Amino acid sequence: MRVHLGSDHAGLELKAHLATWLTDHGYEPVDHGPFVYDAVDDYPVFCLRAAEGVVADRAEGRDSLGVVIGGSGNGEQIAANKVVGCRAALAWSEETASLGREHNDANVVAVGGRMHSLDDMTRFVQVFLETPFSGDERHVRRIGMLSSYEETHVLPPLPASARRGDA
């Protein structure tokens, strides 16, 4: 499996560690940068490329996921989610890493390089990469709603139980 990586300066060290870890565990890392420390770099430059790499690979039928890394992972997740077809999940525990794949079929995981130990973050990435999407109908339906909105910008209809009596 190919794994696209992108970060900012706060994630540079973890990204380098993950590239080695991925290779050692049979993955094919693709590093979208940065490649040198720059305290004022801009994470969108690298995270958008990582997310685009995942989406392009999947469009070609290639098994591919991504990891974006920053100080908290929040901005990196937001950046990745701007790429049409990307579903990035922020992981701060093994459970959130697993649920991002299992329930949301996330294809990119965001982690915070300043939030956890190197071992914990590596484990979050491992869990994310090893967890399959459940394929459960309710999750497929919800992802379909998001994909439809992404393409059309038309909101899904409210269920009858959520409608106001005066609407």
- The side-by-side arrangement of strands in the sheet containing 108-112 is 28-31, 2-7, 64-70, 108-112, 88-90
Among this protein's residues, is 76 annotated catalytic?
A: yes
At 163, the pLDDT band (50, 70, 90 cuts) reads confident
- What pTM was computed for the model? 0.94
Q: Which two tokens stand for residue 102?
A: 């299992």
Q: Which of 103, 130, 137, 153 is catalytic?
A: 103
Q: What is the CATH number of the domain that holds 111?
A: 3.40.1400.10
In a domain, 81, yes or no: yes
Higher pLDDT, 163 or 166: 163
Among this protein's residues, is 103 annotated catalytic?
A: yes
Domain span at 15: 2-134
At 166, the pLDDT band (50, 70, 90 cuts) reads low
In a domain, 99, yes or no: yes
Q: For the segment 51-67, what is each residue's pLDDT rounded down to a tens digit?
A: 999 999 999 999 999 99
Count of CB atoms situated within 10 Å of the CB of 147? 13
In a domain, 49, yes or no: yes
Q: Which of 52, 76, 102, 116 is catalytic?
A: 76
Domain count, the chain: 1
